[in-house]
Amino acid sequence: MNAEIFTPLLDWLDLAGVAIFALTGALVAAKERQTFVTLAFFALMTGVGGGTVRDLLIGAPVFWIHDAWVAVVCLGVALFTWFTPTRWLEGRFLSVADGLGLAAYAVLGSAKALQYGVPPTPAIVMGVITGCVGGIIRDVVAGRPSILMRPELYVTAAALSASVTVLGDLAGLQREWTWLIATAAGFSLRVAAIGWNLALPAYKRN
């Protein structure tokens, strides 16, 4: 793997995204009153799903296979969820936390794709995939409506973070500042969408 990918900020974005998405996965299983094994499975599947697909597409080593901390974080989150009443984690808190993970993971996905020589537009797509696919897999396995079908902005927030990341790289801006701004941009859009029910126009033609 390209050594330039290992920067402290990207490492923190990676673990933050994994932990938050793992929490959403474990919570889905907890609400269905599943066993701890199922909670752990959902935490790992949701936490690493998007990054796994990204790495396979860009020809990178699958990140969580080579970093033992990722699985540890997912299992730790599952354990935390197992001992925590679901009512403490539901509602606005989880939505906002999920928005932060979405933005952070979108930035990470695009930044890593660029490091592996992926052109700008596919790199943006890799950011969206990294941020969204884990949740999509979680919902499909759980038999829930996909996050893609939510009315408020979700994928758009991931696309914003990914786009800012790529545009900052093209402009030659300092990477760390670009990543922070990109994360803040996507997270702010997601929080605004949650607070004011912002949504793109729906298709209405017969």
205 within some domain:
no
Whether 1 has a pLDDT exceeding 50, the answer reads no
CA distances from 125 to 46, 69, 122, 198 (A): 19, 26, 5, 22
160 within some domain:
yes
Which residues touch 161 (CB under 8 Å, ≥6 apart)? 102, 103, 104, 106, 107, 110, 127, 131, 182, 183, 185, 186, 187
What's the pLDDT at 4? 46
* Interval 23-79: pLDDT, tens: 999 999 999 999 999 999 999 999 999 999 999 999 999 999 988 889 999 999 999
pTM summary value = 0.91
203 within some domain:
no
Number of domains in the chain: 1
201 within some domain:
no
56 within some domain:
yes
What is the span of the domain harbouring residue 52? 3-196
In the numeric block, which tokens belong to residue 4? 């330039």
- Other beta carbons within 10 angstroms of residue 101's beta carbon come to 28
* Interval 157-195: pLDDT, tens: 999 999 999 999 999 999 999 999 999 999 999 999 988
103 within some domain:
yes
